[in-house]
């Protein structure tokens, strides 16, 4: 991403003020839900419903009650275990396959890759039900395996990395082969280090997709101990449909760590998400 | 997209890399066979069967599909989904582009604005839906604000029941989705805008084009491939909307906000009709495929590709 | 550079180990709820698995029931399998789908029975009933229909939902309205509602006479001699366009239009009928007996009364309740039958649940016993029995596709009427057209 200073024309002062006003307006809309979430999470329900914002009402009580009512710690652990393992293993597996598709010469390569590409268009709902049945058949229902294993194989990641790997000059490989390096060594010591930035952005992209995924964990988990954050949060809504104080506290608990990480590493997040745009082109 | 373009040098099979190649793709291919290929085949099979709690019962031919075509709820969910597409996709493109153009200027605080606009994108949609349930409640903050605004203007105001009336429930889902996803559109557009060569603006400037003309005749055509990508991407996303209506309105009232994927979920896991659900998924796929193909054909008319 | 790579490699290794240990740590547990009848040796008790859903408080009652049974029947051991309500059905479906008798629960709590009987996972209880001479006449009229499939009994409803009017005596006193009597009519109800409803200057209701969930609508229809379907087991057509049915729906819709009754969407946003009744936002609610313990605990000044009936209508209570069923895949059917029979007997499970205030019993003998006739509020227990005696089919279909029909067509169609977006006559005509289509598509009448 190029620097932002290289913009077309300088602006006049009134235009600048107008632009800031517009951008601030958008900022308010984007931030208001977070602000409401936070404020309501500090108030008793009755005080919020009466719109009584006197300072005496504010407290962290709701957070204590929420933690007592819902095992958010466990949801967090599940989300971390699932997201980290899916992200790392998916990228490893995809990188290996992408390396072969881009740089090894074997019979059937193009045909298999075409087969991969043909499935890129298939939407998730088509595979949802059979995958649920497959998972049940394996005896993985309501386990980490159900949450993790189907996520390890991504045609999109493979495709994206293959495109990138094709851009690296083949001379690198051949020189290494002269020195007696194996393919595995070339992959791990030449290709992977050269693709650091693309791996990092892909990792963020995959991670945030898995972290926020809702439908699949909803379908394959049932016990409270296996819920990820989004599913746990949704179940929480079912139990406390109008207890706004608890719901908002729960939402803040679910969001805060991610938002903090995002603010600290926003450049990577933005690139990671924009990467899907690059993949499409 | 040129995945099959010729490699850097003449392509020859290397016998010594034959087994290596298979070994490298093995982990990926094994999972691909089970969770994608097998799943697709099973899904087709189920959609042509009578499939209950204990699995396969009978071969059913086209029965599930024929039932679907006559199922008014199914068509209602398609109508709802169409509404989501024609509202969410253009609004999001327009808002995202406005934000991106605003941030592509020489002003202070661009990084902070971008940080803020992108914040909902990393937010768990479930949490977003919960807050919007509160914001849009009949006696919630949004209606309070609207009432105050109407009061200032001296206009009569009857509070809309955002979540509980079939006139507004779809709009509630649209509002949540826009809040959540516009930041994404903005970031992709911003990247595209920064790729537009400065010289082209300078040339247009010397030709006496005003800001709007420069935007209309230089910027828009140059970023049209990005618009095309975002269009397809958001359309496919809107076709598969699930979490937003699921958490916010449960698809109600009167199925007025029920999405296709939500109905698939209900058929499979509430009504134990895996067969009907699989058939619906295939009809959805055909729709997505047809629309994408159609857009791909249409893109020649308005998408401008630089000759490379 | 080198250090960095080693670090990365180390991190990857760590993660893989974590994943592996996590997977192996969790996976075996999935197959855990088995421990079924395997260890049946001479002299050792037979073990049966007993599945139910419930909150921790409900689970405590189930535990007491299991202990009481085992004390009477040392030859049978009960293993409990408990899940929260929203997970119960998918989870138990997974157990049945596995086809493994070791994990399949022998006795389970279930609703709706016909749906599962049609899938072949439930045992037909007719032979057991015949062999043991179990008395079916003690059940409230129409109740067993909800647990029948193709004419055979597949389960025994544990309780019966008896919907009565709860009224706040303080609010009636404040409005100067006399307490209702067991024989009050719709007109009496409307007069009371008019007096109890409070509106602000803009005509918006601030205190409602009635808060009733949308799902309670069928009572008004049946009271008015209307019906949902012409036959609840093998339907051939929708009856909601019948003038009597329209009249029942109209009565409920009018209550909302006049501001006497809360619209169901507003009711759920306000936290449900128990919340608005406790906070004095509504003077009456229409609900089953499950609210009694909460209102007693809150020390509310209330009583119950049978719902009012129209001038030339009839008393009607839709008969239905979740039932105890036996899995067809059970490997200890005789022990399972012994347990079910004990559960559903006066002096057995029914009595314990009733004494603990969990249920209104499915058996008439238990309702008329001291287990139910306590001196706790509400005072008018006879009113509940009066309503229960008028139980009949009419609230549900008793065929496998009912859940889908109700969940996708009838329920959503009515939501439009309750929201005031469509008048009952037009709305019901829409619903009936779709219901008839659905029935034809699914091969009804069979």
- Per-position DSSP letters for C332-348, written without gaps between them: -HHHHHHHHHHHTSTTS
CATH (domain of B153):
1.10.3720.10
Please tell me the predicted confidence (pLDDT) of residue B159.
Answer: 83
Does residue A38 lie in a domain region? Answer: no
- From the CA atom positions of chain A, what is the Rg in Å? 24
Strands (E), chain B: 49-52, 55-59
Scanning C84-238, the segments in alpha helix (DSSP H) are 85-98, 113-118, 126-132, 169-175, 186-196, 218-223
Residue A50 lies in a domain: no
> Is B184 domain-assigned?
yes
Out of A113-127, B195-209, C254-268, C414-428, which region has the weakest mean confidence (pLDDT)?
B195-209
| Residues A137 and A255 occupy one common structural domain | yes
Mutate to test the interface with A, among B1, B36, B49, B141 (most CBs of A within 10 A): B36
A153 and A216 in a single domain? The answer is: yes
Q: Tell me the three-class secondary structure of B112-180, residue by residue.
A: HHHHHHHHHHHCCHHHHHHHHHHHCCCCCHHHHHHHHHHHHHCCCCCCCCCCCCCCCHHHHHHHHHHHH
Closest CA to B104 of B92, B116, B91, B113: B113
pLDDT at position C21, please?
Answer: 39
pLDDT (tens digit per residue) in B56-95? 888 999 999 999 998 999 999 999 999 999 999 999 999 9
Per-residue pLDDT at C326: 97
How many C-beta atoms surround the C-beta of residue C145 within 10 A? 20
> What pTM, to 2 d.p., does this model score?
0.85
Query: How buried is A60 (Cβ within 10 angstroms: 0-12 exposed, 13-18 middle, 19+ buried)?
Result: exposed
Is residue A29 domain-shared with residue A137, that is, in the same domain? Answer: no
Residue B148, domain member (yes or no)? yes
A89 and A152 together in one domain: yes
Closest residue of B to C100, CA-based? B54
Q: Which domain holds residue A27?
A: 1-33
Spatial CA neighbour of C416 closest among A161, B257, A177, B307:
B257
Name the residue among C292, C342, C429, C443 with its Cα closest to residue C48.
Answer: C342
The number of domains in chain A is 2
CB contact under 8 A, C119 and B137: no
Measured at the CA of B175, the angle between CA B174 and CA B181, to 5 degrees, comes to: 85
pLDDT 10s digits, A94-105: 999 999 999 998
Contacts for C196-199: CB closer than 8 Å, 24+ residues apart: C196/C171, C196/C172, C196/C283, C196/C284, C197/C258, C197/C259, C197/C260, C199/C259
Identify which of C116, C120, C419 has the shortest CB distance to residue B253: C419
Average pLDDT over residues A225-237: 89
Tally the domains of chain B: 1
Which chains have 3+ CB pairs within 8 A of B?
A, C
SS3 string of C25-73? HHHHHHCCCCCCHHHCCCCCCEEEEEEEECCHHHHHHHHHHHHHHHHHC
Same domain flag for A22 and A116: no
In a domain, A87, yes or no: yes
Does C437 sit within 8 Å of B70, measured CB to CB? yes
Looking at the structure, tell me whether residues A130 and A251 fall in a common domain: yes
Per the domain annotation, does A41 fall within a domain?
A: no
In a domain, B42, yes or no: no
The verdict on A87 and A21 lying in the same domain is: no
Given a contact cutoff of 8 angstroms between Cβ atoms, the answer to whether C113 and C325 are in contact is yes
* B238 found inside a domain: yes
Q: Which chains touch C (3 or more CB pairs under 8 A)?
A: A, B
Interchain proximity A241–C5, CB inside 8 Å: no
Q: How many CB pairs under 8 A join B and C?
A: 81
Note whether residue B106 is domain-resident.
Answer: yes
* Residues A24 and A158 occupy one common structural domain: no
Cα→Cα distances C314→B258, C187, C192, C220, Å? 37, 14, 20, 10
Average pLDDT over residues B15-19: 80
Say yes or no for a CB contact (<8 Å) between A131 and B179: no
Closest in B164, B270, B273 to C266, CB measured:
B164
Residue of C154, C182, C215, C202 whose CA lies nearest to C406: C215
pLDDT, residue C25, reads: 37
Which residues on C lie below 8 Å from B275 (Cβ)?
none
B241 falls within a domain: yes
b/e map of B167-177 (b: 16 or more CB within 10 Å)? ebbbebbbbbb
> Which residues span the domain enclosing B280?
71-301
Minimal Cβ distance to A104: which of B20, B191, B277: B20
Is the predicted ipTM greater than 0.85, yes or no?
yes
Q: What part of C 148-207 touches B (C-beta under 8 Å)?
A: none
Contacts of C198 (CB under 8 A, 6+ apart): C205, C206, C207
Q: Nearest C-alpha of chain C: how many angstroms from B166? A: 7
Q: In what order do the strands lie in the sheet with C323-326?
A: C76-83, C46-53, C107-110, C323-326, C155-157
Whole-angstrom CA distances from C444 to A128, C230, C355 are 31, 12, 43
Comparing CB atoms, the residue among A123, A129, A250 nearest residue B240 is A123
Judge contact between C381 and C164, C-beta under 8 A: no
| Record: contact B167-C96, CB cut-off 8 A | no
Q: Is A64 part of any domain?
A: no
Q: Is B7 on the interface with A (CB under 8 A)?
A: yes
Contacting residues for A227 by C-beta, under 8 A, at least 6 apart: A74, A75, A78, A217, A221, A235
Q: Does B161 touch chain A (CB under 8 A)?
A: no
| Residue A10 confidence (pLDDT) | 65
DSSP state of B52: E
DSSP state of C144: G
pLDDT at B16 over 80: no
User: What pLDDT score was predicted for residue C4?
Assistant: 45
The domains found in chain C, sorted by start residue, are 46-160+320-391 (3.40.190.10), 165-318+401-441 (3.40.190.10)
CA atoms of C136 and C140, how far apart (whole Å): 9
Lowest mean pLDDT across A3-12, A262-271, C196-205: A3-12
Q: How far apart are alpha carbons A6 and C141 in whole angstroms? A: 82
| pLDDT given for residue A19 in this prediction | 94
Q: Give the 3-state secondary structure of residue C208.
A: strand
Q: What is the pLDDT along chain C (446 residues), one digit of tens a residue?
A: 344 444 444 444 444 444 433 433 333 333 333 333 344 445 688 999 999 987 777 888 999 999 999 999 999 999 998 877 766 887 788 788 777 788 889 999 998 899 899 888 999 999 999 999 999 999 999 999 999 999 999 999 999 999 999 999 999 999 999 999 999 999 999 999 999 999 988 888 999 999 999 999 999 999 999 999 999 999 999 999 999 999 999 999 999 999 999 999 888 888 789 889 998 999 999 999 888 888 998 899 999 999 999 999 999 999 988 999 999 999 999 999 999 999 999 999 999 999 988 889 999 999 999 999 988 899 999 999 999 999 999 999 999 899 899 999 999 999 999 999 999 999 999 999 999 999 998 999 98
Q: Do A129 and B278 touch (CB under 8 A)?
A: yes
Q: What is the pLDDT of residue B25?
A: 94
Q: Quick one: tokens of C217?
A: 């609508």
Cα(C259)–Cα(C428) distance, rounded to whole angstroms? Answer: 22
For residues A238 and A188, membership in a common domain is answered with yes
CA A184 and chain centroid, separation: 29
B300 or A144: whose pLDDT is higher?
A144
Token reading at A134: 């497959």
- On whether any CB of chain B is under 8 Å from the CB of C215, the answer is no
Q: Which has the closest alpha carbon to B50: B208, B279, B215, B204?
A: B279
Q: Tokens at residue C394, please? A: 């009419």
Q: What is the pLDDT of residue C26?
A: 36
Question: What is the model's pLDDT at position A173?
Answer: 87
Q: Name subunits touching A (3+ CB pairs < 8 A).
A: B, C
Q: Are C143 and C321 in contact (CB under 8 A)?
A: yes
A145 and A223, same domain (yes or no): yes
The answer to whether residue B25 is domain-embedded is: no
User: How far apart are the C-alpha atoms of C257 and C419, rounded to whole Å?
Assistant: 9
Separation between Cα atoms, residue B150 and residue B156, nearest integer Å? 7
Compare A4 and A62 and report the one with higher pLDDT: A62
Q: Tell me whether residue B181 is in a domain.
A: yes
Instruction: Note the pLDDT of residue C182.
Output: 95
- Residue C23's pLDDT is 39
Mean pLDDT of B36-40: 96
Task: Let me know: does B183 contact B119? Beta carbons within 8 Å.
Answer: yes
């Amino acid at each position: 991403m190029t620097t932002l200073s290289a913009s077309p024309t300088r602006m006049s002062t009134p235009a600048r003020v107008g632009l800031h006003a517009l951008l601030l307006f958008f900022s308010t809309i984007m931030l208001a839900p977070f602000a409401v979430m936070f404020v309501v999470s500090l108030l008793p329900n009755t005080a919020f419903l009466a719109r009584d914002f006197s300072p005496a009402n504010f407290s962290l009580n709701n957070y204590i009650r929420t933690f007592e009512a819902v095992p958010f710690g466990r949801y967090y652990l599940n989300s971390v275990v699932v997201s980290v393992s899916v992200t790392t293993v998916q990228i490893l597996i995809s990188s290996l396959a992408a390396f072969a598709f881009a740089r090894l010469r074997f019979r059937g390569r193009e045909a298999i890759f075409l087969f991969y590409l043909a499935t890129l268009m298939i939407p998730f709902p088509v595979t949802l039900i059979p995958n649920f049945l497959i998972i049940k058949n394996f005896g993985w229902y309501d386990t980490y395996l159900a949450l993790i294993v189907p996520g390890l194989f991504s045609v999109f990641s493979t495709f994206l990395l293959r495109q990138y790997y094709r851009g690296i000059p083949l001379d690198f490989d051949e020189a290494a082969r002269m020195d007696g390096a194996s393919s595995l060594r070339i992959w791990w010591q030449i290709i992977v280090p050269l693709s650091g930035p693309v791996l990092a952005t892909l990792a963020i992209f995959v991670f945030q997709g898995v972290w926020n995924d809702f439908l699949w964990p909803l379908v394959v988990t049932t016990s409270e101990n296996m819920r990820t954050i989004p599913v746990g949060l949704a179940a929480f809504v079912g139990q406390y449909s109008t207890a706004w104080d608890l719901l908002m506290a729960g939402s803040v608990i679910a969001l805060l760590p991610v938002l903090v990480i995002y603010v600290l590493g926003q450049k990577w997040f933005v690139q990671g998400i924009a990467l899907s745009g690059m993949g499409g082109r | 997209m040129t995945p099959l373009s010729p490699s850097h040098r003449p392509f020859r099979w290397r016998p010594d890399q034959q087994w290596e190649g298979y070994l490298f793709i093995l982990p990926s291919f094994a999972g691909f066979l089970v969770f994608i290929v097998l799943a697709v085949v099973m899904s087709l099979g189920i959609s042509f069967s009578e499939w209950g709690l204990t699995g396969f019962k009978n071969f059913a031919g086209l029965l599930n599909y024929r039932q679907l075509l006559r199922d008014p709820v199914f068509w209602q969910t398609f109508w709802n989904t169409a509404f989501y597409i024609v509202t969410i996709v253009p609004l999001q493109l327009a808002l995202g582009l406005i934000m991106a153009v605003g941030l592509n200027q020489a002003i202070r605080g661009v990084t902070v604005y971008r940080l803020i606009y992108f914040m909902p994108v990393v937010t768990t949609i479930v949490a977003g839906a919960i807050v919007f349930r509160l914001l849009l409640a009949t006696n919630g903050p949004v209606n309070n604000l609207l009432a105050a605004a109407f009061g200032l203007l001296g206009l009569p105001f009857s509070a809309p029941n955002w979540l509980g009336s079939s006139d507004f429930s779809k709009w509630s889902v649209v509002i949540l989705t826009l809040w959540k996803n516009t930041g994404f559109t903005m970031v992709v557009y911003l990247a595209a805008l920064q790729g537009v060569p400065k010289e082209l603006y300078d040339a247009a400037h010397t030709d006496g084009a005003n800001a709007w003309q420069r935007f209309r005749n230089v910027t828009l055509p140059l970023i049209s491939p990005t618009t095309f990508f975002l269009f397809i991407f958001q359309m496919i996303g809107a076709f598969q909307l699930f979490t937003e209506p699921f958490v916010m309105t449960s698809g109600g009232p009167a199925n007025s906000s029920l999405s296709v994927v939500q109905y698939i979920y209900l058929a499979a896991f509430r009504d134990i009709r895996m067969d009907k659900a699989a058939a619906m998924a295939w009809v959805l796929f055909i729709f997505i495929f047809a629309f994408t193909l159609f857009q791909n054909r249409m893109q020649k008319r308005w998408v401008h590709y630089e000759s490379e | 550079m080198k250090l960095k790579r080693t670090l990365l490699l180390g991190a990857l290794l760590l993660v893989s180990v974590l994943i592996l240990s996590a997977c192996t740590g969790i996976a075996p547990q999935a197959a855990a709820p088995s421990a079924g009848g395997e260890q049946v040796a001479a002299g050792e008790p037979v073990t049966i698995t007993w599945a139910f859903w419930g909150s921790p408080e409900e689970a405590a009652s189930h535990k007491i029931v299991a202990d009481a049974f085992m004390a009477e029947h040392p030859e049978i051991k009960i293993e409990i399998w408990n899940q929260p309500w929203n997970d119960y059905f998918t989870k138990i479906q997974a157990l049945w789908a596995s086809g493994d008798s070791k994990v399949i629960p022998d006795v389970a709590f279930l609703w709706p029975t016909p749906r599962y009987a049609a899938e072949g996972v439930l045992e037909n209880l007719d032979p057991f009933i015949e062999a043991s001479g179990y008395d079916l006449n003690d059940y409230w009229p129409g109740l067993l229909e909800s647990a029948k499939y193709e004419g055979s009994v597949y389960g025994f409803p544990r309780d019966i939902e008896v919907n009565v009017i709860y009224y706040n005596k303080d609010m009636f006193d404040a409005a100067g309205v006399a307490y209702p009597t067991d024989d009050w009519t719709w007109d009496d109800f409307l007069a009371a509602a008019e007096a109890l409803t409070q509106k602000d200057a803009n005509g918006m209701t601030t205190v409602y006479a009635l808060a009733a969930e949308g799902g309670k609508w069928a009572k008004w229809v049946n009271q008015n001699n209307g019906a949902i379907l012409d036959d609840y087991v093998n339907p051939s057509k929708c009856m909601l366009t019948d003038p009597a049915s329209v009249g029942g729906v109209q009565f409920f819709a009018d209550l909302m239009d006049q501001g006497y009754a809360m619209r169901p969407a507003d009711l759920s946003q306000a936290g449900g009928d128990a919340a608005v009744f406790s906070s004095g936002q509504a003077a009456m609610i229409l609900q089953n007996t499950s609210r009694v313990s909460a209102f007693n605990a809150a020390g509310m000044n209330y009583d119950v009364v049978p719902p009012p009936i129209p001038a030339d209508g009839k008393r009607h209570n839709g008969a239905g309740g979740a039932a105890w069923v036996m899995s067809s895949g059970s490997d200890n059917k005789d022990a399972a039958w012994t347990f079910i029979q004990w559960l559903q007997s006066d002096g057995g499970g029914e009595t314990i649940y009733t004494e603990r205030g969990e249920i209104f019993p499915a058996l008439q003998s238990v309702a008329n016993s001291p287990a139910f006739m306590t001196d706790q509020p509400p005072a008018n227990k006879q009113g509940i029995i009066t309503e229960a005696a008028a139980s009949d089919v009419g609230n549900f279909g008793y065929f496998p596709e009912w859940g889908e029909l109700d969940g996708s067509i009838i329920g959503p169609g009515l939501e439009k009427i309750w929201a005031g977006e469509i008048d009952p006559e037009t709305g019901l005509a829409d619903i009936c057209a779709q219901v008839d289509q659905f029935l034809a598509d699914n091969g009804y009448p069979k």
